[in-house]
Structure 1
Amino acid sequence: MTAQRPDSRPSPTDDGRAADAALTPRASAAGIAAAVQRGEVTAVEVVDAHLDRIARRNPGLGALTVVFAEQAREAASLVDRARAAGEDMGPLAGVPISVKENIDLTWSATTNGWRGMAEAVPARDATIVRRLREAGAVPVARGNMPDFGMRWDTDNDLFGRTRNPWNPQRSAGGSSGGDAVSVATGMSAIGLGNDFGGSLRLPAYAAGVVGLRPSRGRVPRAAVTGYPVALTLQEFSVNGPMARSVDDAALALSVMRGVDADDPVSLDAPPPRDLPRRVGVVRDAGAEVDPQVAAGMRQAAASLAAAGWDVVDVEAPRLEEMAVLWRRLSCTDMLISLDPAALGMPLGRSATSFLRDSTAAARPYDTAREYAEAWAQRAVVAADWRRLQAEVPVLLGPVSASRMREPDHDLGGQDAADRAWRDLWLTVAANFLGLPALALPTGLGDDGMPTGVQLIGPMFAEDTLFEAGRVIEAAAPPLPAPPAVGRE
């Protein structure tokens, strides 16, 4: 169908500036929804503006794999009809979203970035997609990812590479790289992804957006079926949003969160009460921290201190031990679950290289006893972290100890695999323990790439992370639009 623009609509305030603001690449999700709810702009106009940006920017970026032009316009028209009828349009009325290739959306196959699932169209939407659509959000496209999300870069044989919009000679991160780039360039206002080992936070850092890894159980995951899922995927991976502001990430979480009958891990846990406003800065995060990364951390810490937070230096307990356990458990499971004999066809070229190099470097467990002992050790580590976070609830540190590296930085042998993993020790610690973590930008570095930090909180303390994140965000210089590939 072809969307018809209305001949007239209620006159917006400030001579149309409110409507114009809702159509810009930097518009917030909350601002878009408010403008649609007030009748300053229609949902169809919002979607058309985003589809236009997709048409101009995505060919050079490779962020979005499937574009839902007709379905998105139809969904937007339903939002506009609801407003005309005086009905509640929801808190995300008309907000364009992108959906990662491994989250079920009935409009296209859930490919996981792999050729073997190119025709795997789901029978129903994932719960988080359904909740967002019921809240008025409009899917406009699918976000690219590496095969089964197991790389720290975004490339596959099915859809190709996602390029970093700030500099195509730098990685876009992975595995939710497509959605991060889409949000950064205004092709969607919210991106849906997931985080097994930094897959929301690393692309957010690379693209200069906000990425939230919720607590384990806070947001529903895929429906549990008769097919067994690797234990590390059950324990380490969560679905979460990416957005251009902390407020938008919080808004998306408010819609996505809650119990789902299909996910036995999902729950409605209250946030912890009476947490002290204390932040611990983690300066030793595994690899040597790049000076520009350290500068972003100092800036964030200073802004929190100026806002009345007690800022102290801390050492993350058992950080190397956690990173090693996370890696060995993950690689053990990947060797089993991604065996080409079980899948029926090989992984893509880059995914095959990553699996080979990472598992060789990680030394997967050989016996059931070793595997069981590794899981048992998690409780010992978690106890040390819980004791620390009772006194210092929020930890501030890097997403990656390095600046974003070159494309395919996680390939090329065991040394490259080790380097990519060592950069992310603090990031995978949150996955290992199931903790919430918020990545957000702190400005631009001397290299023209976004700088950023992450905040890690105790279980179910997302609201505390948002409170601290808003302080850092308010003090940071706002990012311009990315200047590189696919320029406006």
Structure 2
Amino acid sequence: MTNELWRWSALDLAQAIRAGDVSSREAVQSCLARAEQVNPAFNPLSEIHAGQALGSADAADAAVRDKKELGMLHGVPVTIKANADLAGSATTNGVVAYRDVVAQESNPAVDNWVKAGAVVIGRTNVPAFSWRWFTDNDLHGRTVNPFDAARTPGGSSGGAAVAAALGIGALAHGSDQGGSIRYPAYACGVAGLRPSQGRVPAFNASQRSERPVASQMAATQGPLGRTIADLRLGLAAMSSGDARDPWWVPAPLELRQPGESRRVALFRGTAAFRADPAVLDALERSAAWLEDAGYIVEDATPPRFDEAADLWLNVLMNESSGSMQREIERVGDRAIQRAYQSMLAHTSILDKDGFIEAMAMRTTILREWSVFFDRFPVLLMPVSFERPFLVDEDQQGDEAMGRMIRAQSPLISTAILGLPGLSVPVGLSDGVPMGVQVAAGRFREDLCLAAGEAIEARASWNVLERLSF
């Protein structure tokens, strides 16, 4: 049994370790053996911390024997994304020049998992600067989608999604500024939660300067896993407050249910960009499953959807045109340089007044979405309007990038507004994972997770059963 512990959920492992039915060492050894088996072929882990992990596991088992107070992730093996500070480990962010940027302290989100008892077994791969929907870089190499090597595993938390799909750790840490949790989860057949901005504290002490304000408003950190119950556990452990993040909000994980909490808006797309038939099929099936669970599903379009997506591109790209662009040009690999230039080709250049007006418009659009969520507390929509992209599709020029940006509108529109979004796997289409996104108002992760669980229960999807290795 113990050599199959890599298949267990985080929730089951936490309960079994707490009860003494299995040891943390056994769980960690099982996941490390799994990594040894599959990491060479798929490369989700950029680093494996076997010795440290086994030492932490032994300490966790001693705490169980000594009947000490145990955290909610006590002894559970997890992975940490390579763009988040982990004390004693390099925050490479997929950049060769950063291979020696060793963190002296951990990111608050990472700290929270460790304080909850999690055992870090390794670091997951990212694209350079965590700035692409693909996971490949000159330092750590390419991460491969375990379902279809010709398609992206997503980015930038591509290593995290592949690790979760393959059973290398029960939970994976990720971050999301433009779909970087939800898109890899979608591409790899796992679940991924982007929390509201302010829900999970974050800060990298290793960073040279504070990130710009629009990035602060869009970026969040959250969990990826094989079940939504595990995401609940991962979020609860990750969201404790930390004084290093002044944006953190002490919002309860469960809030009062709105009177229309069972009402769902079904959004298929806009006239400007029609969704792939497989995407629409996943939406229709999920809508039917929600209705079966007692939800009331109605067609509805969130306000200024296209404007919100455009806002993400314009404010983030304009504010990155200084030090970030110079750093990409100085030390970025060719892939990120090409992708960045193609994104610039679709960016409206804003002067100071234009940028101020754009940031003000963010509030206007968010206000209108908040009113929309009063009527429809849950929004069911695509993760992306397309199936997972072919590998390196962002290297095919400006026209290809323009189409990709439009396809990712469901990801980037919600990101710039700081809203929560949940990627839920629902099955395969011609061997490619498919999923849907559930979004809600600020700090309503509880509504996303509840609707996601209703879909999950009826989809009967188990990613490990679909992989033959």
Q: With structure 1 as the length reference, what TM-score do the two structures score? A: 0.92
Q: Deviations over 1:383-435 (max 9, x none)?
A: 21111110101100110111112111222211111111111111111111111
Contact 1:165 1:482 in 2 (8 A): no
Matched ranges for 1:13-412 at <5 A: 19-20=1-2, 23-223=4-204, 227-270=209-252, 272-275=255-258, 276=260, 277-285=262-270, 287-340=273-326, 345-365=330-350, 367-412=351-396
Flag the 1:141–1:226 CA change in 2: closer, same or farther, 3 A: closer
Gaps of 5+ in 1: 1-18
Residues in 2 aligned to 1:307 and 1:339: alpha-carbon distance in whole angstroms: 48
Give the Å deviation of 1:223. Answer: 4.9
| Letter of the structure 2 residue corresponding to residue 84 of structure 1 | R
**Aligned equivalents of 2:70 and 2:303: distance in 1?**
46
1:78 Cα shift?
A: 0.5
Give the aligned partner of residue 478 of structure 1: 461
1:449 Cα deviation after fit: 1.6
Counterpart Cα distance in 2 of 1:116 and 1:88? 42
Aligned position for 2:402: 418
**Separation in 1, partners of 2:94, 2:439:** 29
Partner of 1:461: 444
Contact 1:58 1:64 in 2 (8 A): yes
Structure 1 residue ranges (4+ consecutive) displaced by more than 6 angstroms after TM superposition: none
CA 1:301 to 1:259, structure 2 compared with 1: closer, same or farther past 3 Å?
same
Q: CA deviation at 1:228?
A: 2.9
Whole-Å Cα distance in 2 between the matches of residues 289 and 394 of structure 1?
Answer: 20
Cα distance in 2 for residues equivalent to 1:364 and 1:354: 17
Deviation at 1:343, TM superposition (A): 7.1
Q: Secondary structure at the match of 1:197?
A: coil
CA distance in 2, matches of 1:380, 1:127: 31
Name the SS for the 1:335 alignment partner: coil
Counterparts of 2:22 and 2:123, CA distance in 1: 25
2:298 is aligned with what amino acid?
V
1:247-306 deviation per Cα after TM superposition (whole angstroms, max 9, x unaligned):
100101111113210001001124552322111000115521111111111111111111
Q: Which amino acid aligns with 2:177?
A: F
1:194-220 residue CA offsets vs partner (Å, 9 max, x unmatched): 000000000000011111000110000
Offset of 1:128 from its aligned partner?
Answer: 1.6
Q: Distance in 1 between matches of 2:465 and 2:143?
A: 14
Instruction: State how far apart, in whole Å, the 1-side matches of 2:295 and 2:390 are.
Output: 36
CA contact (8 A) 1:116 1:345 kept: no
Please tell me the residue identity of whatever aligns with 1:261: A
Residue identity opposite 1:246 in structure 2: I
Residues 480 and 209 (structure 1), Cα distance of their counterparts in 2 relative to 1, 3 Å cut: closer
CA–CA distance in 2 between the matches of 1:417 and 1:344? 19
Residues in 2 aligned to 1:403 and 1:333: alpha-carbon distance in whole angstroms:
30
TM-score normalised by structure 2 residue count: 0.95
Shift of 1:73: 0.3
How far residue 192 of structure 1 moved from its aligned partner, in angstroms, is 0.6
In structure 2, what residue type is equivalent to 1:104?
D
CA distance in 2, matches of 1:156, 1:344: 15
CA distance in 1, matches of 2:57, 2:348: 50
Alpha-carbon deviations, 1:354-407, whole Å to 9, x = none? 111111122332x11111111111111112111111010110011011111211
Output one character per residue of 1:7-26: Cα deviation in whole Å (capped at 9) or x when no partner.
Answer: xxxxxxxxxxxx54x83443
Q: Secondary structure at the match of 1:481?
A: helix
Q: Percent identity?
A: 37
Distance 1:218 1:414 in 2: 35
1:132-176 Cα deviation digits (max 9, x unpaired): 112121100101001111111111111111110001011111000
Task: Give the partner amino acid of 1:419.
Answer: R
Alpha-carbon distance change, 390 to 229 in structure 1, aligned in 2, over 3 angstroms:
same
Aligned residue-pair number: 464
Per the alignment, residue 6 of structure 1 pairs with none
Deviation at 1:43, TM superposition (A): 0.7
Alpha-carbon distance between aligned partners in 1 of 2:32 and 2:160, rounded to the nearest angstrom:
15
SS of the residue 1:142 aligns to: strand
- Aligned 8 A contact 1:154 1:172 in 2: yes
> Does the alignment pair 1:449 with 2:449?
no
